Chains A and B, each alone.
Chain A
């Protein structure tokens, strides 16, 4: 079984395009499948990232992030007896999916600094994000916590980072879970090679999450031929409505 796994990893790594290799040539990663099909029956998927580090003294960190969008967090407050969205904080270009994995055991202060600079971990993610908030708003931390919690509830952020599994000294595997609520679009898999608390190499792999088949057809029709799409919707509604009237149980 173990041998088989190693073979799979080897074969995956062997077919990796050369663009995926790190600057230093010491880290190579690949994604088992870089096109995720969202079909009508889509109920989530796992993304397997395989990697190979040349030097077993080094560590690795992998981030998977979804397409970036602006996100607003509203806080409700009482206004004339009702609870309304009162205060806001807008987070610019937040990933709509975020998960990471890191193989480091002890975090030195220089490594934490490097992680912060490279957006590894939730704290780093928020540190780099530009915000825009409503007036008289003092405590941004509350909104940051709410942002993380809301995303965790959606299943697109994770309280615990994913784990890096080493199959021998060099080969490793990370499994990221993609929930059904995951947004479609271009995902980025950043990988970092860490040595002596410093990041010595970076690579990026792309992953596309896209609606296919009937879903893709409907999505495309609704956005590009919206008038014809509307007519089809109406025609179907008219047909089913007529049918319902025709088969109705008569008193």
Chain B
């Protein structure tokens, strides 16, 4: 890949402690930025597996990804904020869960590292998450495209299940016009926090449907509010990764972010050409592609049966 540009500049990453062509990181960042620009997703689900594939230790890949999530989250949330599409109250309550989930995730991360099953667990988590989300998104978007139904009418028909309305600690959220147990947003935030600290993904494509279907939030406020929550959860996860396992590589983060900033510009331009259900079908196929790739590694006879871990 670097040969295409004519320059091969090796960079020694101080925390990952490996030397890697700088263009490779930059192009990875740009590609993910492009994808996130086109589809309006964080793209962490692509970055973490690709970084690990490039030889970055998985702990550093996940830890650094948290930092990149802060950057992509902030760039998104500012534009929603300007338009007033952020429910700070719901976001803050979700953040409480997010920090809890993040803490549990860090402990879990250290545990699987100790057990020597890091690769397996991270792959399995990715397969389950990407597989289920990809399939749901694919069916939903094909369904929408053929029925020509507007997405909004779909949402309005779905009311919060009765079990959720029975939960205690009810709170009023005036901005979203909700009267619901605080445990629900805390729970959703918890899942997000866990994903940020164990997999380096913001989990936007899990949060957004959860906030619409389970919380019953107005769709207009969902994207901004989930990003608001993800920014703060990622800040917390970055601090934890940096202090507990020293696994945040600032140089890696800077090149990923810079690549992402530039890639996202192109992505936004392209996003005007593909919209709605069609964009969601492409995204679903991309998600399922990454999932299949990881699945193949796990379920097919590996080319190398041995793994070396240096303590």
Contact A240 B71 (CB under 8 A): yes
Q: How far is the CA of A245 from the CA of B311 in the complex (A)?
A: 41
Q: Are B305 and A76 in contact (CB under 8 A)?
A: yes
Question: CB within 8 Å of B: which residues of A?
Answer: 38-44, 69-77, 81-85, 88, 96, 143, 146-147, 149-151, 154, 180-181, 183-184, 211, 214-216, 218-219, 222-223, 226-227, 229-234, 236-238, 240-249, 251
Q: Report yes or no: A238 in contact with B71, Cβ–Cβ below 8 A.
A: yes
Cβ-based interface call for B67 (8 A): yes
Residues of A within 8 A of B308 (CB): 71-74, 146-147, 150-151, 154
A-B contact pairs, 12 of them (CB 8 A): A38-B12, A41-B11, A72-B308, A72-B309, A73-B307, A75-B306, A180-B10, A215-B14, A222-B250, A233-B238, A238-B74, A246-B78
Output the least CB separation between A34 and chain B (Å): 20
A69 to chain B, nearest CB (A): 5
| A73–B269 alpha-carbon span in the complex (Å) | 48
Residues of B at under 8 Å CB distance from A? 9-12, 14-15, 17-19, 67-68, 70-76, 78-79, 116-117, 119-120, 124, 235, 238-239, 242-243, 246, 248, 250-251, 253-254, 257-258, 260-261, 264-265, 268-269, 272, 298-302, 305-311
Write out the residue numbers on chain B whose beta carbons fall within 8 Å of the beta carbon of A150. 306, 308
Contact of B298 among A83, A88, A181, A233 (CB under 8 A): A83
Extra pairs beyond A70-B311, A74-B116 (19, CB < 8 Å): A42-B10, A73-B306, A74-B306, A75-B306, A76-B306, A85-B117, A146-B308, A147-B308, A150-B306, A184-B17, A218-B250, A222-B14, A226-B243, A230-B239, A233-B253, A234-B67, A238-B74, A241-B73, A249-B269
Contact B253 A229 (CB under 8 A): no
Contacts known (A41-B12, A241-B73); A251 close to B306, Cβ less than 8 A: no
CB-contact partner of B260 in A238, A244, A247, under 8 A: A244
Q: Is the CB of A222 within 8 A of B248?
A: yes
The CB with the most chain A CB atoms within 10 A, among B72, B242, B243, B307, is that of B242
In angstroms, Cα B265 to Cα A76, docked, is: 43
Q: Within the complex, what minimum Cβ distance (angstroms) separates B273 from chain A?
A: 11
Expressed in whole angstroms, the minimum distance between the Cβ of A141 and any Cβ of chain B is 13
Q: Are B67 and A237 in contact (CB under 8 A)?
A: yes
Nearest chain-A residue to B21 (Cβ)? A43
Q: Between A and B, how many residue pairs show CB distances below 8 Å?
A: 185
**B76 neighbours in A (Cβ, 8 Å):** 245
Given A229-B242, A236-B254, A249-B269, also A76-B71 (CB < 8 A):
no
- Interface residue from B18, B75, B116 paired with A241 (Cβ < 8 Å): B75
Is the pair B272, A251 in contact by a Cβ cutoff of 8 Å? Answer: yes
**Chain B minimum-CB-distance residue to A147:** B308
| Interchain residue pairs A-B with the least CB separation, the first 10 | A241-B74, A180-B19, A230-B242, A241-B71, A245-B75, A146-B306, A237-B70, A244-B75, A150-B308, A237-B71
CB distance from B23 to the nearest CB of A (A): 14
Does B12 contact A215, Cβ atoms closer than 8 Å? yes
CA distance A143 to B305 in the complex (A): 11
Whether the Cβ atoms of A180 and B250 lie closer than 8 Å is no
Q: Is the CB of A218 within 8 A of B251?
A: yes
User: Which single member of B117, B124, B253 contacts A237 (CB below 8 Å)?
Assistant: B253
CB within 8 Å for A249 and B11 given contacts A85-B116, A85-B120: no
- Which residue, B74, B264, B268, has most C-beta atoms of chain A within 10 A? B74
**Residue pair A82, B298 in contact (C-beta under 8 Å):** yes
Of A69, A74, A75, the contact of B311 (CB 8 Å cutoff): A69
Greatest chain B CB density within 10 A among A223, A232, A249 is at A249
B269 adjacent to A222 (CB under 8 Å): no
Residues of A within 8 A of B269 (CB): 249
Contacts of B299 in A (CB 8 A): 81-83
Known: A96-B310, A242-B75. A76 touches B302 (CB 8 A): yes
A214 to B15, CA, bound (A): 12
Contact B238 A230, beta carbon cutoff 8 Å: yes
Q: Which residues of A contact B248 (CB under 8 A)?
A: 222, 229-230, 233
Most B CB within 10 A of own CB, among A184, A241, A246: A241
User: Are B243 and A71 within 8 A (Cβ)?
Assistant: no
Q: Inside 8 A of A218's CB, which chain B residues have their CB?
A: 14-15, 250-251
Chain B residues, CB < 8 A from A249: 265, 268-269
A85 to B67, CA, bound (A): 30
Q: Which residues of B contact A81 (CB under 8 A)?
A: 299
Residues on A with C-beta less than 8 A from B268 are 248-249, 251
